[in-house]
Amino acid sequence: VKEEGKNSFQFFKQEMNDSVSRKSRLATGLRKGLEQGEFFLQYQPQIDIKTERIIGVEALIRWEHPEWGIVSPADFIPVAEETGIIVQLGEYVLHTACRQNKAWQDAGLPPFRVAVNISARQFSQSNLAATVSQALDQSGLDPKYLELELTESIIQGASSAVTAMKELKSMGLHLSIDDFGTGYSSLSYLKLFPIDTLKIDQYFTRNIQADTKDAALVDTIIRMAHNLELNVIAEGVETDEQLAFLRQRHCDQAQGYYFNKPLLPADIERLYRLPVDA
């Protein structure tokens, strides 16, 4: 966020290149950060390509440490996973995202979904369904406005994963597969899992223009999704050309810097609040 944050983050990286002490300091920092309220969420709009209207936002966690500044989720999520702190962190994200989305609806924004990232450990270890239903109850958010983004890595425990996903689906939530195509899993899970949406990873989107094979893959993923009656969203859309390609191939939705970076709640409200007497 701030320039100062950037510098202290560089410092933090150099200081912590010993991986064991780095991990334990991060773990301590994470626990303390949860107590001290150092975490917050940003929300990135997801746009319907045909209508160019917002259909949802993805909640992305942010951590501003008092000395280290902004620490990237790419750096702390893996440590949170390894240490199990992800369970508490995930509860914070679910509760905050549900409460925020209900607040937007109460403030008169057009209703859209909020998508929450669920890591593999969070999915397999915590009582996710209970946490989700608590977050829904306490916020008053209609379950159809909550989406969970799962990655292919949850497939490891295939049969129990299907049971858990069915339970979540029966609550009325929307389920998506994040980073689709980057795991090493077989495609057969697509017919077993009760999912609604495939998210095309930004790695593929990025190379649509430069690499004809990536373009062919994106085209194929979109067709496959539609043949399976799944919705498909492309992430990491940054350019006109990428959007034009996706539109031509009938990709349903897009998310990326071309539309918006992840935003604070007040900015989402400014962008999408309807005129009072429209």
Are 200 and 232 in contact, with CB atoms under 8 Å apart? yes
Answer yes or no whether residue 96 interacts with ligand C2E by CB under 6 A. Answer: no
Answer yes or no whether residue 262 interacts with ligand C2E by CB under 6 A. Answer: yes
* CB-based contacts of 236, cutoff 8 Å, min separation 6: 201, 202, 203, 205, 206, 255, 256, 257
Residue 256 near which of ligand C2E, Ca ion, none (CB within 5-8 Å, type-dependent)? ligand C2E
User: According to CB under 6 A, which residues from 176 to 215 bind ligand C2E?
Assistant: 178-179, 202
User: According to CB under 6 A, which residues from 208 to 247 bind ligand C2E?
Assistant: 235-238
Number of residues lying near ligand C2E (CB under 6 A): 20
Answer yes or no whether residue 74 interacts with ligand C2E by CB under 6 A. Answer: yes
User: According to CB under 5 A, which residues from 159 to 178 bind Ca ion?
Assistant: 178
Answer yes or no whether residue 148 interacts with ligand C2E by CB under 6 A. Answer: no
Residue with smaller CB distance to Ca ion, 25 or 62 = 62
CA 110, 59, 127, 131 dihedral sign is negative
User: According to CB under 6 A, which residues from 43 to 62 bind ligand C2E?
Assistant: 44, 60-61
Which residues contact Ca ion (rule: CB under 5 A)? 117, 149, 178-179
